Amino acid sequence: MSLSDPMLYAYLLVILAGFLPTDVFRFAAVLFARRLDEDSEVLILVRAVATALLAGVIARLVLFPTGDLAGVPLWIRLASIAAGVAGYFLIRKSVLAGVIAAEIVIVGGAIYFR
């Protein structure tokens, strides 16, 4: 890759415009988070709002899907949520196990029932 290659400038633009500005705030958050009390009412509220937003996004994806997910039957999408929750609790509250279990069910169901 030479300096005259336009792809080099595209990569630099992605790094400068996308990666660096967000990392500044991530590093600042790490520095400021050390002084916060995990059990404070503000952080409990923030955690509850974040959890509610995530639940809303998941519910929207399952109940009102777009794209290829719209072709997967509703019962498979609901079964993948059940498998994810079961995987999470069965393997010592492992988020990774829950995600993998849900992915196996939804991808397997999408392939098998299409």
Q: Tell me which residue has tokens 């005259």.
A: 4
Q: How large a percentage of the chain has pLDDT more than 70?
A: 97
- 83 — alpha (psi -120 to 50), left (phi > 0) or beta? alpha
Residue 113 · residue 73 · CB < 8 Å: yes
80-112 pLDDT, tens digit each: 999 999 999 999 999 999 999 999 999 999 998
pLDDT band at 1 (very low <50, low <70, confident <90, very high): low
Residue-averaged pLDDT of the chain: 89
Residue 56 · residue 93 · CB < 8 Å: no
Q: Mapped to the 3 state alphabet, what secondary structure does 47-64 carry?
A: HHHHHHHHHHHHHHHHHC
pLDDT at 3: 67
**From the CB of residue 108, how many other CB atoms can be counted at a distance below 10 Å?**
14
Average pLDDT over residues 34-54: 90
Domain ranges of the chain: 1-35, 38-62, 66-114
pLDDT at 102: 95
**Any idea what the Cα angle at residue 61 is, between residues 89 and 42, rounded to 5°?**
65
- The reply to whether the predicted model has a pTM over 0.75 is no
Dig out the tokens for 60 from the structure: 């929207």
Q: How far from each other are the two terminal CA atoms of the chain, in whole angstroms?
A: 43
